[in-house]
Amino acid sequence: MKNIRTIISLLMGCATLSLQADLLVYEGWNYALADATSMHTKAITATGMTGNYADITSGGSATFSTTGLSFGTNYLPTTGGSLYQSATGSTSYTVLRGDINTTVSYPMTLWGSYLVQIDEFSTDGTVKVRANYDDSGNSKARFISTVDATGSSQNTGVGYDSTGTASSGGLTEDVTYLALSSFTNVGGAGGGTATQYIFTLGEYDSWLSAGGGLEANLGSYAGITATDSSGDIKSFANYVNFVLGGSGTGTESAFIDEVRYGTTLGDVIAIPEPSSFLLMLGGMSLIGFGAFRSRRSRS
């Protein structure tokens, strides 16, 4: 019995997932603010960011929500509340901007992830998270992950600039999704490829179960994917922007939480270390062997 308890403890330890090798940015919205407080001018406490948030709005709002998003027991630990953005009408929008304060070595692959829940879709609205190299004009390089693309029937998308590439699938209101993206050859020459994977909780857990969560399997288990390419790949610097626009009739609103940027897949989502996965399999075998011996001794 003591041996079985020890093995169970080891298996529980396997739930501690891969250490984050180079987490560049983490915003878990862990702020001591009242619900619905504007994030404009609030001091940023996020890892890899600095200064105060600036809400560049036209009729929209970016506020703190005391209710955070979660994504099951196999996801990374979550903290604090979440960001809630809302905009009503064709000219209404909100862009919450925070300064990046981190250094990286180039070239690299930039990974990003966040949890999102669309509270309400408007006609032709948009919701996106982007990291800007240069904010002066739409033609400048950006690392954009879109979960509601303007002009694309509420589809998701990914891109290096304002146009990007939309997917053929969209999200459902009041469901929490994981938006995962990668941008290759950042800061290098010769261009790169951007890929976005959108997971429901069930799809994410299925991906983890398929051999311990392999990068090669992401596209097989994500419910929605999109790709884009560019020959002008800039550095990861300047800003992180949270963008929501009500570019149509009605109100567009969404929750954003657990925003991460890193240089590896394991920086931004939970995947077991290979050794932990093998330990889990070995532990299961030992438990079965122990139960078999127990039955033999009783007979």
Span 176-199, pLDDT tens digits: 999 999 999 998 888 899 999 999
Note the pLDDT of residue 286: 39
pTM across the whole model: 0.85
Element (H, E) at 6: helix 2-13
Q: How confident is the model at residue 274 (pLDDT cuts 50, 70, 90)?
A: low
Task: Give per-residue pLDDT as tens, 139-152.
Answer: 566 899 999 986 65
Contact 110, 97 (CB under 8 A): no
Of these ranges, 79-83, 137-141, 269-273, the one predicted with the greatest mean pLDDT is: 79-83
Dig out the tokens for 70 from the structure: 């979660």
Q: Dump pLDDT digits (tens) for 16-29.
A: 344 456 799 999 99
The whole-number average pLDDT for the span 189-215 is: 93
Question: In this predicted structure, what is the pLDDT of residue 153?
Answer: 60
For residue 121, which phi and psi values (nearest 5 degrees)?
A: -95, 140
As a whole number of angstroms, the distance between CA 166 and CA 178 comes to 17
Q: Domain segments of the chain: what residues? A: 17-275
Q: Give the pLDDT band (50/70/90) at residue 96.
A: very high
**Residue 75, both tokens:** 């996801």
Q: Which helix (H) or strand (E) holds 250?
A: none
Spell out the residues 6+ positions from residue 294 whose beta carbon is closer than 8 angstroms to its own.
none
Question: What number of H helices and E strands is found in the chain?
Answer: 5, 16
User: What does the mean pLDDT of the chain come to?
Assistant: 83
Band (32; pLDDT cuts 50, 70, 90): very high
Query: How far is Cα 137 from Cα 5, in angstroms, rounded to an integer?
Result: 60
Which amino acid belongs to residue 97? Answer: R
CATH of 17-275, one of 3.30.565.10, 1.10.10.10, 2.40.30.110, 2.60.120.560: 2.60.120.560
Helix (H) or strand (E) holding 292: helix 274-298
d(CA 115, CA 29): 12
Per-residue pLDDT tens for 102-132? 988 999 999 999 999 999 988 778 899 999 8
Residue 12 tokens read as: 């529980």
Q: Are 28 and 80 in contact (CB under 8 A)?
A: yes
| CA distances from residue 222 to 198, 199, 219, 282 in whole angstroms, order as listed | 6, 5, 5, 29
The answer to whether 1 touches 8, Cβ cutoff 8 Å, is no
- List of residues 6+ apart from 295 with CB closer than 8 A: none
**Contact in structure between 125 and 87 (CB atoms under 8 Å):** yes
* N-terminal to C-terminal alpha carbon distance within the chain: 17
pLDDT for residue 276 is more than 60: no
